[in-house]
Amino acid sequence: MSVPSIAKRNGATVVSTSVTPASSLQILSHREVEQLYDASQTELYSIFRQCSLAVINCGSAEDDTSKVLEEYADFDISIIQRERGIKLEIVNAPAKAFVDGEMIQGIREHLFAVLRDIVFVQNELYANPHYDLSTSQGTTDAIFNIMRNADALIAEKEPNLVVCWGGHSIGREEYDYTKKVGYELGLRGLDICTGCGPGAMKGPMKGAAVAHRKQRNSRGRYLGITEPGIIAAESPNPVVNELVIMPDIEKRLEAFVRVGHGILVFPGGVGTAEEIFYLLGLLLHEDNRGKRIPLIFTAPIESADYFTSIDEFIGLTLGPEAQSMYEIIIGGAEEVAKRMSSGMQDVRRIRREAKDAYYFNWSLVVPRQMQSPFVASHQSMAALRLEAGDSKFDTAVNMRAMFSGIVAGNVKAEGIADIAAHGNYQISGDARFMQAIDALLQSFVAQGRMKINASAYQPCYDIVTS
């Protein structure tokens, strides 16, 4: 790392320096170095810059991507080629990423994970004719190779990875509860995978980290899976020791269900609702009948009404079969951990009987319509079918897309710009569905679950009853 240059800009301290690889990309051939450099000069650069800024800006309370980019408009990052490999030249980075001029080690590791996934992996996959991303199998193969390239797949490890979903904007009681659950999971030797951000994504990792230390478990995994459109709103929290950036939200969701062995859902907002409907949609698909994944919804006693509302909403839109696919545990951190630990044994047995890998759930079928990226726009949001007469699978797919679009309008730079230019997205459908959706979204707003700065939230959608 070079001698840093520290300056004041608009009242904020910024740092300019260069850094070399930490744990990723330490040994590269000349061809690989040239590939990285060449790719960084293409249209991928803006994505690389945005994700790098998000990583360096770890700890920020701002979840509006456009505001983060505006605040650090003169931030720059470039790849420097060297005989010994590469280094990153950084200009006007947030000073919070440094201690006495040295970049914090965890942030340095995350920064090179960005380089690995955004520039190298995407360049390899999309330029490689062997990957057909227009097919279901080709997409799954690509996800597998991204995870393998990140060393996130451990062949001999018994099932123990718990995926935790939940909001980045939650209250103190809910956050403390996620830590308690994480602690109980960690005491039982379970590892944690989340979306890598703050709130319910950070709490379980923090709790598990303490428990792992108590159990003298030095190999605890805190896997964070994100994607370029969301990372600025949910910068990787400092507990994450394995960071993977998938190309889009659909591949991120598939990665969760492929590598995880059980899933916990804490209170959250539209992003959490999107995750719930994605998973239930998968399990409702005819090719996945009988394929169960340990799935628990849990919250502190003070937030019991949250999952009552979610359960009722699922019952109305997807029916009793979907409700049978999960259990709800309120205020019982230890019970949650025991149930999830027991579920790991079931997963182990099922994978062995199916001759499936422990580290990647190949047998789960992910239909093409759940892999194709949903790009939120006024046209695509208005075209969604939200009708009571549709199949439960189709309803889940369309509900997931609707929630994804609202996430885009809330926090993604392109979604925010689209709303500013053309007004709110219009969501229409069956009157009964629309009333239930409106009530659910209004409850998210009232509870401050849409954005960290809840008082400033302006809805990016209008509900239209057909």
Q: Is residue 454 scored above 60 in pLDDT?
A: no
Q: Is residue 14 scored above 90 in pLDDT?
A: no
| Whole-number Å distance between alpha carbons of 454 and 458 | 9
pLDDT band at 331 (very low <50, low <70, confident <90, very high): very high
Q: What is the mean pLDDT of the chain?
A: 88
Q: How far is the CA of 441 from the CAs of 173, 268, 280, 306, 424, in angstroms?
A: 21, 11, 19, 12, 14
* pLDDT computed for residue 23 by the predictor: 64
143 lies in the same domain as 13: no
28 lies in the same domain as 71: yes
340 lies in the same domain as 267: yes
Paired tokens of 455: 């008082």
139 lies in the same domain as 124: no
* pLDDT computed for residue 287 by the predictor: 94
* pLDDT computed for residue 175 by the predictor: 96
Domain boundary residue, one of 91, 113, 128: 128
Q: What is the mean pLDDT of residues 201-228?
A: 96
* pLDDT computed for residue 310 by the predictor: 95
Q: How many domains does the chain have?
A: 2
pLDDT per residue over 305-314, tens digit each?
Answer: 999 999 999 9
| Whole-number Å distance between alpha carbons of 123 and 39 | 7
341 lies in the same domain as 223: yes
Domain boundary residue, one of 70, 94, 128: 128
Paired tokens of 92: 């006007």
52 lies in the same domain as 140: no
79 lies in the same domain as 11: yes
Q: What is the mean pLDDT of residues 318-332?
A: 96
User: How many residues are present in the chain?
Assistant: 466
* pLDDT computed for residue 290 by the predictor: 81
Indicate the DSSP class of residue 193. Answer: E
212 lies in the same domain as 282: yes
Q: Are 199 and 169 in contact (CB under 8 A)?
A: yes
Calculate the dihedral angle through the C-alpha atoms of 201, 205, 207, 210, rounding to the nearest 10 degrees. Answer: -160
Q: Residues near 266 by Cβ (< 8 Å), separated by ≥ 6?
A: 164, 165, 166, 167, 170, 174, 177, 178, 181, 200, 203, 204, 272, 298, 299
| Whole-number Å distance between alpha carbons of 402 and 293 | 24
462 lies in the same domain as 373: yes
Domain boundary residue, one of 84, 112, 128: 128
| Whole-number Å distance between alpha carbons of 50 and 445 | 27
Percent residues over pLDDT 70 in the chain:
91
* pLDDT computed for residue 257 by the predictor: 97
Q: How far is the CA of 344 from the CAs of 153, 262, 348, 420, 426, in angstroms?
A: 17, 7, 6, 46, 42
More confident position, 395 or 64: 395
123 lies in the same domain as 139: no
* pLDDT computed for residue 229 by the predictor: 82
* pLDDT computed for residue 121 by the predictor: 76
CATH number of the domain to which 409 belongs? 3.40.50.450
Dihedral sign, CA of 181, 184, 188, 191?
A: positive
CATH number of the domain to which 79 belongs? 3.30.1850.10
* pLDDT computed for residue 128 by the predictor: 74
Q: Is residue 455 scored above 60 in pLDDT?
A: no
392 lies in the same domain as 460: yes
147 lies in the same domain as 86: no
Domain that holds residue 37: 5-128
Least confident of 37-51, 238-252, 292-306: 37-51
In this prediction the pTM is: 0.90
